[in-house]
Protein backbone atom coordinates (compact mmCIF):
# COMPACT_ATOMS: atom_id res chain seq x y z
CA UNK A 1 0.00 0.00 0.00
CA UNK A 2 0.98 3.61 -0.54
CA UNK A 3 1.59 5.71 2.59
CA UNK A 4 1.06 9.46 2.21
CA UNK A 5 3.48 11.32 4.42
CA UNK A 6 5.24 14.62 4.98
CA UNK A 7 9.01 14.37 4.79
CA UNK A 8 12.04 16.61 5.08
CA UNK A 9 14.18 15.98 2.01
CA UNK A 10 17.28 17.59 3.50
CA UNK A 11 18.55 19.24 6.70
CA UNK A 12 16.49 22.15 8.08
CA UNK A 13 14.03 22.06 5.19
CA UNK A 14 10.25 22.46 5.39
CA UNK A 15 8.46 19.13 5.17
CA UNK A 16 6.74 18.36 1.86
CA UNK A 17 4.19 15.77 0.73
CA UNK A 18 6.01 12.54 0.00
CA UNK A 19 4.89 8.93 -0.22
CA UNK A 20 6.36 5.48 0.16
CA UNK A 21 5.24 1.90 -0.28
CA UNK A 22 4.61 -0.70 2.44
CA UNK A 23 4.51 -4.03 0.64
CA UNK A 24 4.07 -6.47 3.49
CA UNK A 25 3.48 -6.04 7.18
CA UNK A 26 6.27 -8.09 8.76
CA UNK A 27 5.23 -11.03 11.00
CA UNK A 28 6.05 -9.14 14.21
CA UNK A 29 4.66 -5.79 13.07
CA UNK A 30 1.36 -3.97 13.00
CA UNK A 31 0.15 -1.44 10.46
CA UNK A 32 -1.41 1.55 12.19
CA UNK A 33 -3.59 4.22 10.58
CA UNK A 34 -2.53 7.52 12.15
CA UNK A 35 -5.27 9.59 13.81
CA UNK A 36 -3.08 12.14 15.60
CA UNK A 37 0.61 12.84 16.04
CA UNK A 38 2.30 15.21 18.46
CA UNK A 39 5.35 17.28 17.54
CA UNK A 40 8.30 16.85 19.90
CA UNK A 41 11.45 19.01 19.86
CA UNK A 42 13.33 15.86 18.85
CA UNK A 43 11.42 15.92 15.54
CA UNK A 44 12.89 19.35 14.87
CA UNK A 45 16.38 18.20 15.93
CA UNK A 46 16.06 15.28 13.51
CA UNK A 47 14.78 17.47 10.64
CA UNK A 48 17.75 19.77 11.20
CA UNK A 49 20.24 16.87 11.58
CA UNK A 50 21.38 18.41 14.88
CA UNK A 51 22.58 15.00 16.10
CA UNK A 52 24.36 14.09 12.86
CA UNK A 53 22.55 10.81 12.10
CA UNK A 54 19.42 11.93 10.25
CA UNK A 55 18.64 10.10 7.00
CA UNK A 56 16.52 11.73 4.31
CA UNK A 57 13.77 11.64 3.24
CA UNK A 58 12.93 11.93 6.93
CA UNK A 59 9.33 11.45 8.04
CA UNK A 60 9.12 12.90 11.59
CA UNK A 61 6.51 12.07 14.21
CA UNK A 62 6.86 9.84 17.27
CA UNK A 63 3.90 10.77 19.48
CA UNK A 64 1.41 8.76 17.49
CA UNK A 65 -2.17 7.79 18.22
CA UNK A 66 -3.77 5.50 15.66
CA UNK A 67 -5.90 2.49 14.94
CA UNK A 68 -4.48 -0.94 14.17
CA UNK A 69 -5.38 -1.68 10.56
CA UNK A 70 -3.61 -5.01 10.13
CA UNK A 71 -1.45 -7.31 12.24
CA UNK A 72 1.51 -9.49 11.25
CA UNK A 73 1.24 -13.27 11.40
CA UNK A 74 3.10 -13.58 14.74
CA UNK A 75 1.34 -10.77 16.57
CA UNK A 76 -0.93 -12.09 19.30
CA UNK A 77 -1.28 -9.08 21.58
CA UNK A 78 -3.08 -6.60 19.31
CA UNK A 79 -6.17 -6.72 17.18
CA UNK A 80 -7.45 -4.87 14.16
CA UNK A 81 -9.49 -1.83 15.19
CA UNK A 82 -7.69 -1.33 18.51
CA UNK A 83 -6.63 2.23 19.39
CA UNK A 84 -2.92 2.40 20.17
CA UNK A 85 -0.10 4.78 20.94
CA UNK A 86 3.46 4.72 19.60
CA UNK A 87 6.40 6.70 20.98
CA UNK A 88 10.09 7.22 20.29
CA UNK A 89 11.27 3.60 20.38
CA UNK A 90 10.86 1.23 17.42
CA UNK A 91 12.62 -1.91 18.73
CA UNK A 92 15.25 -3.36 21.08
CA UNK A 93 17.41 -6.50 20.93
CA UNK A 94 15.43 -8.39 23.57
CA UNK A 95 18.38 -10.34 25.00
CA UNK A 96 20.96 -7.90 26.42
CA UNK A 97 21.22 -7.26 30.18
CA UNK A 98 19.12 -4.12 29.91
CA UNK A 99 16.39 -5.84 27.91
CA UNK A 100 16.37 -8.84 30.25
CA UNK A 101 15.90 -6.66 33.31
CA UNK A 102 13.00 -4.84 31.66
CA UNK A 103 14.95 -1.69 30.83
CA UNK A 104 14.67 -2.12 27.08
CA UNK A 105 14.76 1.64 26.47
CA UNK A 106 18.41 1.56 27.61
CA UNK A 107 19.33 -1.23 25.12
CA UNK A 108 22.42 -0.49 23.02
CA UNK A 109 20.68 -1.99 19.98
CA UNK A 110 17.45 -0.03 20.40
CA UNK A 111 16.10 1.75 17.34
CA UNK A 112 13.82 4.76 16.98
CA UNK A 113 10.59 5.22 15.08
CA UNK A 114 11.98 8.17 13.12
CA UNK A 115 15.70 7.30 13.22
CA UNK A 116 15.29 3.81 11.73
CA UNK A 117 12.17 4.18 9.63
CA UNK A 118 9.32 6.53 8.78
CA UNK A 119 7.31 8.27 11.47
CA UNK A 120 3.84 9.54 12.16
CA UNK A 121 3.54 12.65 9.98
CA UNK A 122 1.78 10.25 7.66
CA UNK A 123 -1.41 8.34 6.90
CA UNK A 124 0.07 5.10 8.29
CA UNK A 125 3.03 3.72 10.16
CA UNK A 126 4.27 0.13 10.49
CA UNK A 127 6.02 -0.79 13.75
CA UNK A 128 7.07 -3.69 15.96
CA UNK A 129 3.92 -4.70 17.85
CA UNK A 130 5.88 -4.73 21.14
CA UNK A 131 6.27 -0.95 20.86
CA UNK A 132 2.63 -0.29 20.15
CA UNK A 133 0.55 0.32 23.29
CA UNK A 134 -3.21 -0.03 23.72
CA UNK A 135 -4.57 3.27 25.05
CA UNK A 136 -6.90 3.49 28.04
CA UNK A 137 -10.33 4.56 26.83
CA UNK A 138 -10.50 7.78 28.84
CA UNK A 139 -7.42 9.28 27.14
CA UNK A 140 -8.62 11.51 24.26
CA UNK A 141 -7.20 10.77 20.81
CA UNK A 142 -6.32 14.46 20.26
CA UNK A 143 -4.21 14.83 23.37
CA UNK A 144 -2.87 11.35 24.21
CA UNK A 145 0.02 11.43 21.73
CA UNK A 146 2.32 13.70 23.77
CA UNK A 147 2.20 11.18 26.62
CA UNK A 148 4.08 8.70 24.41
CA UNK A 149 7.29 10.74 24.32
CA UNK A 150 7.00 13.88 26.50
CA UNK A 151 4.89 12.12 29.12
CA UNK A 152 6.96 8.97 29.43
CA UNK A 153 10.18 10.99 29.51
CA UNK A 154 9.17 12.88 32.64
CA UNK A 155 7.26 10.00 34.24
CA UNK A 156 10.10 7.51 33.86
CA UNK A 157 12.64 10.07 35.10
CA UNK A 158 10.56 10.91 38.17
CA UNK A 159 10.08 7.23 38.95
CA UNK A 160 13.78 6.48 38.49
CA UNK A 161 14.59 9.44 40.75
CA UNK A 162 12.37 7.89 43.45
CA UNK A 163 8.95 9.49 42.98
CA UNK A 164 6.19 7.80 44.91
CA UNK A 165 3.85 10.03 46.83
CA UNK A 166 4.34 12.39 49.74
CA UNK A 167 7.58 13.85 48.39
CA UNK A 168 8.54 17.46 47.69
CA UNK A 169 9.34 17.70 44.01
CA UNK A 170 10.65 20.67 42.04
CA UNK A 171 10.04 20.98 38.29
CA UNK A 172 12.25 23.43 36.41
CA UNK A 173 10.77 24.76 33.17
CA UNK A 174 7.15 24.86 32.02
CA UNK A 175 7.00 23.55 28.46
CA UNK A 176 5.96 20.33 26.78
CA UNK A 177 7.80 18.26 29.40
CA UNK A 178 7.35 20.46 32.46
CA UNK A 179 3.59 20.81 32.16
CA UNK A 180 3.26 17.01 32.22
CA UNK A 181 5.77 16.56 35.06
CA UNK A 182 3.79 18.98 37.25
CA UNK A 183 0.59 17.05 36.57
CA UNK A 184 2.04 13.58 37.20
CA UNK A 185 3.88 14.60 40.36
CA UNK A 186 1.06 16.60 41.94
CA UNK A 187 -1.82 14.29 40.99
CA UNK A 188 0.07 11.27 42.32
CA UNK A 189 0.26 12.90 45.72
CA UNK A 190 3.46 14.91 45.85
CA UNK A 191 4.01 18.53 46.83
CA UNK A 192 5.17 20.31 43.67
CA UNK A 193 7.21 23.49 43.31
CA UNK A 194 7.45 24.88 39.78
CA UNK A 195 10.40 27.04 38.73
CA UNK A 196 9.60 29.25 35.76
CA UNK A 197 10.50 32.54 34.14
CA UNK A 198 7.26 34.54 33.96
CA UNK A 199 4.33 35.42 36.23
CA UNK A 200 1.97 34.10 33.56
CA UNK A 201 3.67 30.70 33.56
CA UNK A 202 3.74 30.63 37.35
CA UNK A 203 -0.04 31.07 37.27
CA UNK A 204 -0.33 28.34 34.63
CA UNK A 205 1.80 26.04 36.80
CA UNK A 206 -0.57 26.49 39.72
CA UNK A 207 -3.54 25.69 37.49
CA UNK A 208 -1.75 22.49 36.42
CA UNK A 209 -1.40 21.44 40.04
CA UNK A 210 1.81 23.02 41.35
CA UNK A 211 1.48 23.98 45.03
CA UNK A 212 4.13 26.67 44.80
CA UNK A 213 5.73 28.53 41.91
CA UNK A 214 9.07 30.33 42.14
CA UNK A 215 10.23 32.78 39.49
CA UNK A 216 13.66 32.46 37.90
CA UNK A 217 15.48 35.77 37.37
CA UNK A 218 18.90 35.91 35.65
CA UNK A 219 18.94 32.10 35.69
CA UNK A 220 18.36 31.83 39.44
CA UNK A 221 15.23 31.24 41.55
CA UNK A 222 14.28 34.44 43.40
CA UNK A 223 13.68 32.53 46.64
CA UNK A 224 14.09 29.09 48.20
CA UNK A 225 11.18 26.70 48.80
CA UNK A 226 10.32 26.69 52.52
CA UNK A 227 11.58 23.10 52.90
CA UNK A 228 14.30 21.12 51.06
CA UNK A 229 13.18 19.16 48.00
CA UNK A 230 13.55 15.41 47.51
CA UNK A 231 13.73 15.59 43.71
CA UNK A 232 14.36 18.40 41.24
CA UNK A 233 13.45 17.53 37.65
CA UNK A 234 15.14 19.89 35.20
CA UNK A 235 13.30 19.99 31.85
CA UNK A 236 15.07 23.04 30.40
CA UNK A 237 16.98 22.28 27.17
CA UNK A 238 19.37 25.22 27.75
CA UNK A 239 22.23 25.47 30.28
CA UNK A 240 21.08 26.16 33.88
CA UNK A 241 23.25 26.59 36.98
CA UNK A 242 23.73 23.19 38.66
CA UNK A 243 24.80 24.53 42.06
CA UNK A 244 21.58 26.49 42.54
CA UNK A 245 19.31 23.49 42.19
CA UNK A 246 21.60 21.11 44.11
CA UNK A 247 21.39 23.58 46.96
CA UNK A 248 17.59 23.27 47.09
CA UNK A 249 17.77 19.49 47.66
CA UNK A 250 17.76 17.80 51.05
CA UNK A 251 19.99 14.86 52.00
CA UNK A 252 19.90 12.05 49.40
CA UNK A 253 18.07 14.43 47.07
CA UNK A 254 18.23 13.81 43.34
CA UNK A 255 18.74 16.37 40.59
CA UNK A 256 17.45 14.75 37.41
CA UNK A 257 17.93 16.06 33.88
CA UNK A 258 15.60 15.33 30.98
CA UNK A 259 16.41 18.42 28.92
CA UNK A 260 19.70 18.06 27.06
CA UNK A 261 21.82 21.20 26.78
CA UNK A 262 24.75 20.67 24.42
CA UNK A 263 27.32 22.15 26.81
CA UNK A 264 28.77 20.01 29.66
CA UNK A 265 27.52 20.57 33.20
CA UNK A 266 29.73 22.34 35.69
CA UNK A 267 29.20 20.49 38.96
CA UNK A 268 30.58 21.53 42.36
CA UNK A 269 31.26 18.28 44.29
CA UNK A 270 30.96 19.66 47.82
CA UNK A 271 27.13 19.93 47.77
CA UNK A 272 27.02 16.30 46.56
CA UNK A 273 29.40 15.04 49.26
CA UNK A 274 27.99 16.73 52.32
CA UNK A 275 24.38 15.71 51.68
CA UNK A 276 24.94 12.53 49.62
CA UNK A 277 22.99 14.12 46.78
CA UNK A 278 22.95 12.64 43.29
CA UNK A 279 22.73 13.91 39.73
CA UNK A 280 21.15 11.73 37.06
CA UNK A 281 19.81 11.89 33.52
CA UNK A 282 17.02 9.82 32.02
CA UNK A 283 15.75 9.07 28.51
CA UNK A 284 12.19 7.94 27.53
CA UNK A 285 11.01 4.83 29.42
CA UNK A 286 10.71 1.05 29.23
CA UNK A 287 7.66 -0.73 27.82
CA UNK A 288 6.52 -1.63 31.33
CA UNK A 289 6.86 1.98 32.46
CA UNK A 290 4.96 3.24 29.40
CA UNK A 291 2.04 0.96 30.28
CA UNK A 292 2.18 2.09 33.92
CA UNK A 293 2.36 5.75 32.83
CA UNK A 294 -0.66 5.42 30.53
CA UNK A 295 -2.67 3.74 33.30
CA UNK A 296 -1.73 6.47 35.76
CA UNK A 297 -2.44 9.25 33.26
CA UNK A 298 -5.92 7.80 32.86
CA UNK A 299 -6.44 7.13 36.58
CA UNK A 300 -5.19 10.52 37.83
CA UNK A 301 -6.50 12.66 34.97
CA UNK A 302 -3.15 13.77 33.53
CA UNK A 303 -3.88 15.47 30.18
CA UNK A 304 -1.41 17.06 27.80
CA UNK A 305 -2.53 20.60 26.88
CA UNK A 306 -2.37 20.76 23.11
CA UNK A 307 -2.82 23.00 20.08
CA UNK A 308 -4.19 20.99 17.17
CA UNK A 309 -3.49 21.42 13.46
CA UNK A 310 -4.65 19.53 10.41
CA UNK A 311 -1.76 17.49 8.98
CA UNK A 312 -1.73 19.74 5.90
CA UNK A 313 -0.69 22.67 8.16
CA UNK A 314 2.30 20.77 9.54
CA UNK A 315 4.79 23.49 8.57
CA UNK A 316 2.81 26.16 10.47
CA UNK A 317 2.87 23.90 13.53
CA UNK A 318 6.60 23.18 13.14
CA UNK A 319 7.26 26.91 12.88
CA UNK A 320 5.53 27.50 16.22
CA UNK A 321 7.50 24.63 17.81
CA UNK A 322 10.72 26.20 16.52
CA UNK A 323 9.75 29.58 17.98
CA UNK A 324 8.94 27.91 21.31
CA UNK A 325 5.48 29.46 21.50
CA UNK A 326 3.33 26.31 21.60
CA UNK A 327 1.24 25.81 24.76
CA UNK A 328 2.29 23.11 25.44
CA UNK A 329 2.37 20.61 22.63
CA UNK A 330 1.35 20.81 18.96
CA UNK A 331 -0.64 17.84 17.66
CA UNK A 332 -1.34 17.09 13.99
CA UNK A 333 -4.72 15.56 13.24
CA UNK A 334 -5.37 13.23 10.30
ZN1 LIG B 1 10.19 13.03 21.53
ZN1 LIG C 1 18.77 -5.12 24.38
Are 62 and 127 a contacting pair, CB within 8 Å? Answer: no
Whether residues 179 and 276 fall in one domain: yes
Question: Three-class SS of residue 112?
Answer: strand
Residue-level pLDDT at 143: 96
Whether residues 179 and 324 fall in one domain: no
Q: Which ligand does the CA of 237 lie closest to?
A: 1
Q: Give me ligand 2 centre to Cα 102, in Å.
A: 9
Q: For residue 299, what are the contacts with CB-CB under 8 A and spacing of at least 6? A: none
Residue after which a domain boundary falls, among 281, 298, 322: 281
Whether residues 257 and 299 fall in one domain: no
Q: Which ligand does the CA of 96 lie closest to?
A: 2
Q: Give me ligand 1 centre to Cα 113, in Å.
A: 10
Q: Give me ligand 1 centre to Cα 10, in Å.
A: 20
Whether residues 101 and 250 fall in one domain: no
Residue numbers of the domain that contains 325 = 2-149+285-333
Residue-level pLDDT at 224: 97
Whether residues 28 and 89 fall in one domain: yes
Whether residues 163 and 214 fall in one domain: yes
Whether residues 168 and 127 fall in one domain: no
Whether residues 49 and 131 fall in one domain: yes
- β-strand 29-39 against 16-21: which pairing, if any? unpaired
Q: Which ligand does the CA of 149 lie closest to?
A: 1
Q: How far apart are CA 111 and CA 108, in angstroms?
A: 9
Residue-level pLDDT at 191: 98
Ranges under pLDDT 70 in the chain = none
The per-residue pLDDT for range 200-229, each reduced to its tens digit, is 999 999 999 999 999 999 989 999 999 999
Provide the number of structural domains found in the chain: 2
Whether residues 252 and 155 fall in one domain: yes
Residue-level pLDDT at 135: 98
Q: What is the CATH number of the domain that holds 264?
A: 3.40.50.720
Residue-level pLDDT at 26: 95
Residue-level pLDDT at 259: 83
Q: What is the CATH number of the domain that holds 55?
A: 3.90.180.10
Residue after which a domain boundary falls, among 260, 281, 302: 281
Q: Give me ligand 2 centre to Cα 29, in Å.
A: 18
Q: Give me ligand 2 centre to Cα 100, in Å.
A: 7
Q: Which ligand does the CA of 107 lie closest to?
A: 2
Are 139 and 84 a contacting pair, CB within 8 Å? Answer: no
Q: Which ligand does the CA of 109 lie closest to?
A: 2
Q: Which ligand does the CA of 87 lie closest to?
A: 1
Whether residues 178 and 245 fall in one domain: yes
Residue-level pLDDT at 263: 85
Residue-level pLDDT at 138: 97
pTM over 0.95: yes
Give the phi and the psi of residue 56 in degrees, each rounded to 5. Answer: -115, 150
Whether residues 212 and 299 fall in one domain: no
Residue-level pLDDT at 39: 97
Whether residues 231 and 324 fall in one domain: no
Residue-level pLDDT at 260: 77
Q: Give me ligand 1 centre to Cα 286, in Å.
A: 14
Q: Give me ligand 2 centre to Cα 83, in Å.
A: 27
Amino acid sequence: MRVNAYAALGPAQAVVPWSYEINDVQPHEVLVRVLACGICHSDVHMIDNDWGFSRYPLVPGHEIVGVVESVGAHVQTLQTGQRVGIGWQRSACGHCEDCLRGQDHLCDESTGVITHGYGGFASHVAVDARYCFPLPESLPTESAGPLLCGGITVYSALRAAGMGSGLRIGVVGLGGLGHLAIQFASRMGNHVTAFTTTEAKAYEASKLGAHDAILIRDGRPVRRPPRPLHIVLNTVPAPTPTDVYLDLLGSDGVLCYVGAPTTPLSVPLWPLLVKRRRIMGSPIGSRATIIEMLENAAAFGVRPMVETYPLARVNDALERVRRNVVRYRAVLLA
